[in-house]
A = this chain, B = another copy of it.
Amino acid sequence: MPTIYDVAKACGVAPSTVSRAFSRPGRVNAETAARIRKVAEEIGYRANPLARALPTGKTSLLALVVSDVTNPFYFEIIRGAELAANAADYTLLVADVYESAAVERKALERALPLVEGVVLGTSRMSDSAIRVMAQQRPTVVLNRVLTGIPSVITDNARGTRRAMEHLVDLEHRSIGYVAGPEASWADGMRWRAMRDAAEALDVRVQRFGPVAPTLVGGTGVAPVVADSAVTAVVAYNDLVAIGLMRGLAAVGVRVPRDVSVVGFDNIFGAELCSPALTTVAAPLAALGRYAVQTLLAGMASRTPPQVRPALLPAELVIRESTARRARRRRSVAAS
């Protein structure tokens, strides 16, 4: 691989001039710069990003930490983040942490010295641990709010409210919530929003779980939900909702005829399942894109940027898993 020294020799100038010809437009005479560029092109010079990064610290790498890459929730987020990163000439490094705070810590330890900034997607770390790492590198948090650290979140309150209104429109008066992981900030928000909405709309809510944010998590609570008095259920996320529907089917409860089900996020698969899932759609690609843009903006400006979390709108996508409440309570099937 040719270096600036090779280019410099071929041009009869000093290496520093070659360097400036590329990174300091205007600092070098236009003709000289043009000549250097031409020669560099000819001998196939490419700047070595490692060598550049050593003195400057600019690696052009950004980390996106996701709690589970196999969770379809992240696909569009990753895509959005990567697009935004590439647009700014950055490369995105996706780290998967398998829903484990310990692995997350280790992954960050590995990646942190390499990257210029970090986007934490649904982190499972403690607030204080996040604050510690935010001191080392510019950080943006997804789906969680920490005062003093820029964050990008979905408007869960509004989305939850919409879902509740929808269910109430369908005459449901007793609504369940299947909770996700305790450590999930979004879970807390959703449950709180449900209770607020329930009060405002004058209906009863009941909490189930917590369960793992997976299909089997949803399947697992199905019997409990089936035995309860609720006629509609809002699940922590789509995966849980879909698992729940299958679990309900297994114990003879029909969706939406006996019980309506609403999910969160509108992941790939939400419209594939049967019945197609009514869900509060998160603006996934926008979330990823905006997080990266916020991060880059923060890196560019000297001063720490906005502290107000960015609130991206969620909207209710109505499909087939919700329906008007049956006149009579279903008879409970075998458990």
Among A48, A76, A272, which residue has the most Cβ atoms of chain B within 10 A? A272
Q: Is the CB of A268 within 8 A of B72?
A: yes
A76→B68 CA distance, assembly (Å):
10
Please indicate the chain B residues that have their CB under 8 angstroms from the CB of A75 in the complex: 69-70, 72, 75
Please indicate the chain B residues that have their CB under 8 angstroms from the CB of A269 in the complex: 72, 268-269, 272
| A104 adjacent to chain B (CB < 8 Å) | no
Please indicate the chain B residues that have their CB under 8 angstroms from the CB of A29 in the complex: none
CB within 8 Å for A82 and B111 given contacts A51-B54, A269-B268 = no
A323→B199 CA distance, assembly (Å):
50
Residue among B76, B79, B94, B242 making CB contact with A272, cutoff 8 Å: B242
- In angstroms, how far is the closest chain B Cβ from the Cβ of A52? 10
Q: Is the CB of B78 within 8 A of A96?
A: yes
Digit string of A111-153 for contact with B (CB within 8 Å is 1, else 0)?
A: 1011000000000000000000000000000000000000000
CB within 8 Å for A50 and B268 given contacts A76-B70, A91-B95, A95-B91 = no
A162→B46 CA distance, assembly (Å):
49
Digit string of A50-90 for contact with B (CB within 8 Å is 1, else 0)?
A: 11011000011100000001101001101100100010000
- In angstroms, how far is the closest chain B Cβ from the Cβ of A238? 10
| A193 adjacent to chain B (CB < 8 Å) | no
* Identical subunits present: 2
| A212 adjacent to chain B (CB < 8 Å) | no
| A274 adjacent to chain B (CB < 8 Å) | yes
| A273 adjacent to chain B (CB < 8 Å) | yes
Q: Is the CB of A113 within 8 A of B69?
A: no
Please indicate the chain B residues that have their CB under 8 angstroms from the CB of A111 in the complex: 91
Question: Given contacts A69-B75, A242-B272, A272-B273, could you give 20 more A-B pairs where the C-beta distance is less than 8 Å?
Answer: A48-B113, A50-B53, A50-B54, A50-B114, A70-B79, A70-B268, A72-B268, A78-B94, A78-B96, A86-B107, A91-B93, A91-B111, A91-B114, A93-B94, A94-B94, A269-B269, A269-B272, A272-B274, A273-B273, A273-B274
List the 4 closest A-B pairs by CB distance, nearest first.
A274-B274, A272-B273, A70-B75, A269-B269
Jot down 22 A-B pairs with beta carbons below 8 A, ordered by A.
A46-B109, A46-B113, A48-B113, A50-B113, A50-B114, A60-B110, A61-B114, A69-B82, A70-B75, A70-B76, A70-B268, A75-B75, A91-B93, A91-B110, A91-B114, A92-B94, A93-B94, A94-B94, A269-B269, A269-B272, A272-B273, A272-B274
